[in-house]
Amino acid sequence: MSDNNWKTSCHHMSTCALTGASAFFASIPGSFVLVNGPLWCYFYAMKYVEDYDASALRRFHCTQPEGNALVYGTEKDLLAGLDFVKSNFAPERVFILNNCSVSLVGDDIAGIAAKAELPWPAYAVDCGGIAGDFAEGYEIALLRVLDEVKKNAKDTIGLPSLNLLGLSPTYFRGEEDIKEIRRILEKAGYRINAIPGGGSTWDEIMELPKAELNIVLRDELALKAARELETEFGTPYLSAGMPYGIQGTLQWLEKINSVLPAKNLASVQQEAEAINARLQFRSSNMQSLWGPLWFDNILIAAPPSEAAGIAEAVRGEWADTGNLIIHFTQDTSLRPRAATKICIAGRDDAAMKETYENWTGGLVLGSSLEASRLVRLKKPFVNCNIVLPTYHEIIATDSPLCGIRGAAWLFERIWNAKLSGCMDEVKERD
């Protein structure tokens, strides 16, 4: 991993590729993840997944190779690990994930697994952090599963359905966002065929070629897979991004409708209009008491799809600002019109540092990392978490961040952030 990529993984929301691959495989019901590497990597990936899935501990194990395994190979340790899984669990399939150091050994993992005479299939993947960050690990895992899709593909008649690519419950409000996106599309009249990495079963993932259209929600996670599905099966894809805000969600749905017409688009539009009317009414009431939803500065620090979509929704639908800065946590070609300034982690770190040093107050839409940095610098700000990690807040409701329901939740939280700042000013005067 390059120095910049390592810094991005350590100091921004992203994590290592082993974690990204673990999150993808763990989302498949009946799966078991065997980390072929040291305990540190195992606990890091397992804990990350366990934060959204309490059962993760029962579906993770570690081989803990001996110190000389990097010289002599990990066969003995891997066979012992597989024997432990076989003796204590009954998974539908096992995914063996090599960490950074073990990936360099060059062991024939599939061949070693065959020696174990397992009663279920095992799949080997090299996805150590040396390969990159969370997105690259997720991508590696998705492409590995596509290899199995190709082997099991059957000639089928195309059905009016969609695959949703690039979703994961390990993202902030990830599980809730998956449900909201699915709800909106099904209400519009689409049938969801498969959501690999988002809770679909192995059998559902094997049916990927049956869809008429692949929707890519996050390019950094699934664009390569969408292109491969198009090449292999002729399934077209649409890079749609994530839907944020009321108007943003309707525009997102119209983009999909222009490629594959929906049967009941009007029902979603009616729901969106009703919710938007309610939000505007409440906004008017609050403005009469506290003034417009204005922030001198807005900082949005998030992965590409989240940052771009939320920037357009916040500035285009609800709030106004003199300066909207985006810190993309990963490289991207996205350039939202709402942004005054754009920085990319690992490339524009000096400019990102200036953002914090020159900060004079405003709204921060990011994670606990951005908030803690401003606290250390003793800078004034109001906060609204939109990505992980979120150490200074607990959320126990089932509200999504995206879609129509997510628009109401985000609108509420941004207004409450402003009101919190207003109350602080009142206290200071008193």
Q: Quick one: which of 157, 237, 161 has its CA closest to 193?
A: 161
CB 363 within 8 A of CB 381: yes
Mention every residue, 6+ apart, whose C-beta is less than 8 A from residue 359: 297, 299, 374, 377, 379, 381
Measured CA to CA, the distance from residue 301 to residue 402 in angstroms comes to 16
Pairing type for strands 213-216 and 320-321 reads unpaired
Q: What is the block-wise mean pLDDT of the chain (430 residues), using blocks of 10 residues?
A: 43 72 94 90 88 86 82 86 93 91 78 90 78 87 93 61 96 97 96 96 95 97 97 96 98 97 94 96 94 96 96 96 95 95 95 96 96 96 94 91 97 94 70
Distance CA 103, CA 70 (A): 9
∠ at Cα 141 (135, 145), nearest 5°?
140
pLDDT at 4: 46
- Residue 115: CB atoms within 10 Å: 12
The two three-digit tokens of residue 184, written as one number: 């909106």
d(CA 94, CA 32): 5
Task: Output the six-digit token pair for 81.
Answer: 């690990």
Looking at residue 374, its pLDDT comes to 96
Q: pTM value?
A: 0.89
Burial 337-366 (b: 16+ CB within 10 A, else e): ebbeebbbbbebbeebeebeeebeebbbbb
The helix (run of H) or strand (run of E) holding residue 326 is strand 324-328
- pLDDT score recorded for residue 62: 92
Transcribe 54-103 into DSSP letters.
Answer: TTGGGGEEE----TTHHHH-SHHHHHHHHHHHHHH---SEEEEEE-HHHH
Domains and CATH numbers, the chain: 3-151 (3.40.50.1980), 155-264 (3.40.50.1980), 266-429 (3.40.50.1980)
How many CB atoms within 10 Å of residue 112? 21
What is the per-residue pLDDT for 318?
A: 94
- CB of 388 closer than 8 Å to CB of 172: yes
**Residues 319 and 294 sit within 8 Å (Cβ to Cβ):** yes
For residue 236, which of 247, 228, 245, 248 has the smallest C-alpha distance?
228
